[in-house]
Amino acid sequence: MTKSRTKLFLENFFVYGLGSVLAKIAPLIMLPIITRLMPDTTYYGLSDLSNITVAFGSAIAVMGMYDAMFRMFFEKDDLEYKREVCASTLNFVLISGIAMCLILFIFKSYFASWIFNDVKYVNLLNFTSFSILITTLSSIAIAPTRMQNKRKIFLITNTISPIIGYGISIPMLMNKNYLYALPTAALVTSSIMLIFFYILNRKWFDFKKVNIPLIKEMLKIGAPLMPVFIIYWIFTSCDRLMISKQMGNSFVGIYGMGAKVASVSQFIYIAFSGGWQYFAFSTMKDEDQVEMTSKIFEYLALVAFSAFVIIIPFTHFIFALFFKGDYVNGYVAFPYLFLSPLLLMLYQTITSQFLVIKKTWPSTVILSLGAVINILLNYFLINAIGIEGSALATLIGYVISVIIACIVLSKMKLIIIPNRMIIMSTVLTLFIVLWRLISPINILPAILMSVPTLMIFCYLYRVDIGMAYKKGKNMLNHVKEESTNI
């Protein structure tokens, strides 16, 4: 990457990273308080099931139009065209979101029984269906802010939103309203963000500029992506439904807590995904785009694998320190769910190449194979080793998807996979197996395995690390010189 592109990538990565930290750090800090105010894991499990239903419904309602909007926004340097793209997208998802909401409301008894395992939770489903509509619209309302790379607004809103959420949920939990506390907080926060961003970006959503032929063109890009988002949902959420059916809602709560703590890895993932689309599409016509994307993929893998190896020895200690009762058992799912979003990050890095060339169906097929394997393994592994089996099934599904994507894109000359990355991946696999066999709880043996693993990673990338160190040092010296001159 050239200096300007490196700066663009790092600025997006770290600013969106800070935004994601601000949005995620409060929920993580509040988890011990939430679990003490909600001692029965069943209620946390029901809230988790509501969340995954919102994620599923909104993915169907959006129908891939968010990514299509991002892609078409950068198609022409024409302001009127860009406004047509935004207005057309919002009009489409408004209709599809209302339709999704009505379907769940009309068949609420059936869906309440299927999702929550009991028809008595029908009112929770009504709440969930309305949340789908708000979440769907919010995702589009915020898009112009991201497409214009207005990062300060992103930082501010991500700081405020968790404050609003916990300002609502904590009082409800203290009044023992366990069932609706977390879903209400999520709905109110999403509604406020929708209103704010719609007002902020209203000039982009003039319904007089809705272009039906443009919607059809965008659907050609977005519709093939819709199954991809449903598959993402299968990876991240279907395990909860299967645990609920095979083990009960209380185990969904324990698993959900493990997943929530593991979401710390999403600091990296969300930072990447927030800044990546802008960077990928704004540089997609560069001559060395394949080499640049390959390097980014490789370096992100190094960061992801290193973060995993560093944190794993302390898994059980963290859960025992911050949680009480059954929630502590969430530690068994944590390692696999920590690494899974990072693998998704790697997958999205390279499969954005399909979107660049406007061929999105291979990404759908590849991820589908991983999802099918995930579901099959969930069925068997949940029965065999409980919630740990479900988390492991999720990780294996992502691993298979990334491997297949690497093979296909390498054949298409759209990505370059060096031998050192293959070696690093093999070393990581051996580390996971040895850690699970020798020391899933004790810290010292795990650290003794982590240190040589990290040393191997550093040796493989010693030249790149050295160059990064020199560039970082030069940048710091340059900043010091400027501050001195001032």
Q: What is the pLDDT along the chain (486 residues), one digit of tens a residue?
A: 554 555 555 555 555 555 555 566 667 777 888 888 888 888 888 998 998 899 889 888 888 888 888 778 877 778 888 888 889 999 999 999 999 999 998 998 899 988 998 888 999 999 899 999 999 999 899 888 877 767 677 667 777 887 888 889 999 999 989 999 989 998 998 899 899 999 988 889 888 888 888 888 888 888 877 777 778 788 878 889 899 888 988 899 899 888 888 877 766 666 655 555 555 555 555 566 788 778 888 888 998 999 999 999 999 998 988 888 888 899 999 999 999 988 988 888 888 778 777 676 788 889 889 999 999 999 999 999 999 999 999 999 999 999 999 999 989 888 889 999 999 999 999 999 999 888 788 889 999 999 999 999 999 999 888 887 777 676 666 656 655 555
Length of the chain: 486
- Tokens representing residue 226 in the block: 């819709």
Find tokens 């339709």 and name the residue: 99
- Tokens representing residue 165 in the block: 């959420």
Any idea what DSSP says for residue 452? Answer: H
C-alpha–C-alpha distance, residues 134 and 427, integer Å = 44
Strands, E assignment, 118-251: none
pLDDT value, residue 248: 86
C-alpha–C-alpha distance, residues 234 and 360, integer Å = 19
Find tokens 């909007």 and name the residue: 69
Q: Which amino acid is at 76?
A: K
pLDDT value, residue 38: 87
Run of H or E residues at 388: helix 387-411
**Rounded to whole angstroms, what are the CA distances from 198 to 36, 60, 204?**
37, 21, 9
Write the secondary structure of 334-353 as one string of H (helix), E (strand) and C (coil): HHHHHHHHHHHHHHHHHHHH
**pTM of structure:** 0.73
Contact 353, 409 (CB under 8 A): yes
Contact 188, 160 (CB under 8 A): no
**Rounded to whole angstroms, what are the CA distances from 96 to 24, 60, 62, 93, 134?**
29, 8, 7, 5, 12
pLDDT value, residue 3: 47
**Rounded to whole angstroms, what are the CA distances from 300 to 144, 305, 307, 375?**
27, 8, 11, 27
Name the nearest CA neighbour of 238 among 48, 466, 91, 62. Answer: 48
C-alpha–C-alpha distance, residues 110 and 118, integer Å = 9
192 Ramachandran zone, left/alpha/beta (phi>0; psi -120 to 50): alpha
**Chain centre to alpha carbon of residue 420:** 27
Label residue 381 exposed, middle or buried (CB < 10 Å: 0-12, 13-18, 19+): buried
- Tokens representing residue 284 in the block: 């997609």
| All residues at 6 or more sequence positions from 464 whose CB lies less than 8 Å from its CB, including other chains | 299
C-alpha–C-alpha distance, residues 116 and 337, integer Å = 23
Q: Which amino acid is at 379?
A: Y
**Chain centre to alpha carbon of residue 296:** 18
Q: How is 41-107 classified by DSSP, letter by letter?
A: HHHHHHHHHHHHHHHHHHHHHHTTHHHHHHHHHTT---HHHHHHHHHHHHHHHHHHHHHHHHHHHHT
